[in-house]
A and B are shown apart, each in its own frame.
Chain A
Amino acid sequence: MRPSAVRLLNILVPVKRTVDYAVKIRVNPDQKGVDLNVKHSMNPFDEIAVEEAVRLREKLKDEVKSIKVVTIGPPKAAETLRTALAMGADAGIHIEVPDSAPAPEPLGVAKALRAVIQREKDGVDLVIMGKQAIDDDAGQTGQMLAGLMDWAQATFASKVVVDPKAKEVQVTREIDGGLEELKCRLPLVVTTDLRLNEPRYASLPNIMKAKKKPIQKLTPAELEVDLAPILEKVKVSEPPKRVGGGKVENVDQLIAKLKEAGITSVKS
């Protein structure tokens, strides 16, 4: 991995095609998975990552040399790359796997991303990616990639300030109980949290422009990476059902219900 030429940033944004966040999830009766014949979109945290890269270029202008997006997925995942290109990324990399392939695990994804980074002839200085995917909710890939590369890492970022000249990044992160500020040297992996930014909607002209931007296709074999899962998926089941719908008509009835449950005020 060679760092880029002095002061010019090469940014890589991994993105994932996931079930859309608003879809009502249905567990299949065979308990092998959830119904995937539903609307899919770019993982919301990855949208935030793409947006952050584009804003960095708007701020730093020529100091950002390239913004590349990469995804691992079946042929349909190319749509997700096109969305990112329409938001402002320059080029895409599609690591294509068959529709029937089992979902890769974070460690496998991190190894694939490492291979991509090592093949980039201009190098990669900054990886910005979502803190978790809303399907598996694992939240590991960014940290694993940083570990494999032995790079700095800053997770759950709510603010990112890059100084390309100093090759330093100031990151504010959301942690349990508040905020933490870190100063990191490039190269760096940042994972995005909800409040980092609000992603733009791609305009129609940009969607048209995106069709002409290049998408490089690769296979895991070409990257010499094995994406076969290590953990065994035993089953996917429904969570215990919560029976709700109880109603009261006024505050007095509410207090009566609380009392029934043994809940009274602390200063009676």
Chain B
Amino acid sequence: MLRLRPILTPGSLHRRFATVAGPHALVLLEHRAGVIESGSLSALTAAQQLGGQVTGLVVGAPDQVKGVVEKAKKLKGLTNVLHSSSEQYAHSIPEVVSPLLEKLLSDNTPYTHVVSAHSSSAKSLLPRVAARLDLPAVSDITSLEHDSTSNATTFTRPIYAGNAIATVRAPESVRVKVFTVRSTAFKASAEDESAQAEEKAIDPVEVSNPPTQHVRTDLTKSDRPDLGSASRVVSGGRALKNAETFKATLEPLADALGAAIGASRAAVDAGYADNSLQVGQTGKVVAPELYMAIGISGAIQHLAGMKDSKMIVAINKDPEAPIFQVADVGLVADLYEAVPELVEKLKQ
């Protein structure tokens, strides 16, 4: 986590007194079934690190928004909560939501930064908004530092599947700095019972005849912890043979550890697991306390999604598997023997 650079350096004593206010970030608070997404809470933490005011934005259908706003008002560090309701906003269609954001960020906007999680919905929306405002955007940041004297914000972000870290600076000329946040890099903001941010309703910007319509959403139903925020993950690879074997082998282990289940790309491509379980460069990026890679070889693209895990355990038949190079604890064994044995002994 970066500390803000002290503003009172010898040079700054001679600078003209800044007449502009400090940063004012607008944070997109996404929600599902009345609950604020954990990624948005990480985005809120990142926004607070800019060092100025933070305004939350809740957009959705009328029956969704009210409950979410009540929860948002209790979030630590939020100055106020804007909200906008419309049936049109029920499904986060970028073409429909963008006009609202463009209006909030037009020329005399008080906002200097726009922040969201790097979620599939926000990363579909924010670049569209940015382009329509002739602004660049920065994706999937892992740290930030704002310098109020120069009005520039510097970010770090992974590139080349996390094999390199880019440090990029958005100078003052970037009127509003739009960025998405890697949630594993910022601790989720918590509630503060004593906090009570102000709320303000914003008229929706209705889009007549939108070119895109939502047809359906199919979410994988699971009682397990959510993969993106679980503290323990048990992940399976191509060695798991088929969907039944994948489930039968990994579920008992995940149950014993109270873990979420993940999968390598190979496993998902082969149909052993749903795409929502894919961990990797283009799937989910996770950083749990424990990541167990079962029958996963450890391709670069998979490592990109889990190498920040606190403890990595690997079970694989192949002693040369690249996964062992990042594993804290590696066991070269037949997973069909090792995993059941592990489950049994864990339960003792």
Contacts and interface: CB of A to CB of B under 8 A. Distances in A.
A170 B215 contact: yes
A143 B312 contact: no
B129 to A, nearest CB: 7
Interface string A241-268: 0101111111111110110010111111
B159 A147 contact: no
A178 B217 CA distance: 8
A176 B228 contact: yes
A140 B164 contact: no
Residue from A137, A145, A176 having most chain B Cβ neighbours under 10 A: A176
Contacts of A261: 290, 311
Interface in B109-139: 119-121, 123-132, 134-139
Nearest to B326: A244
B296 interface: no
A265 B164 contact: no
A25 B127 contact: no
A107 interface: yes
Contacts, number: 266
A141 B158 CA distance: 17
Nearest to A249: B331
A30 interface: no
Interface in A154-204: 154-156, 158, 170, 173-185, 188, 193-195
Contact of B120 (A21, A175, A188): A175
Interface stretch (B6-14, B73-81, B166-174): B166-174
A232 B168 contact: yes
B265 A137 contact: no
Contacts of B93: 182
Given A152-B95, A180-B214, A184-B212, A234 B119 contact: no
A246 B314 CA distance: 10
Given A239-B158, A248-B329, A265-B257, A255 B311 contact: no
A227 interface: no
B269 A194 contact: yes
A27 interface: yes
Nearest to B337: A251
A230 B159 contact: no
B162 interface: yes
Given A136-B159, A175-B217, A156 B120 contact: yes
Given A147-B127, A244-B324, A237 B215 contact: no
Interface residues of A, number: 86
A156 B296 CA distance: 24
Size class of the B contact interface (CB-based, 8 Å): 35 or more
Nearest to B93: A182
B220 A178 contact: yes
Contact of A177 (B134, B170, B232, B276): B276
B212 A236 contact: no
Given A176-B120, A179-B275, A231-B138, A131 B282 contact: yes
A259 to B, nearest CB: 10
Given A137-B140, A139-B123, A178-B220, A195 B290 contact: no
B331 A250 contact: yes
Contacts of A242: 307, 312, 326
Contacts of B318: none
B281 interface: yes
Contacts of A25: 160-161, 163-164
Interface string A197-218: 0000000000000000000000
Contact of B258 (A145, A177, A193, A266): A266
A175 B158 contact: no
Q: Closest 10 CB pairs between A and B? A: A144-B131, A266-B258, A152-B211, A140-B127, A147-B128, A25-B163, A147-B131, A143-B127, A178-B219, A234-B167
8 contacts: A21-B301, A137-B161, A146-B95, A173-B120, A181-B218, A250-B333, A251-B331, A261-B311
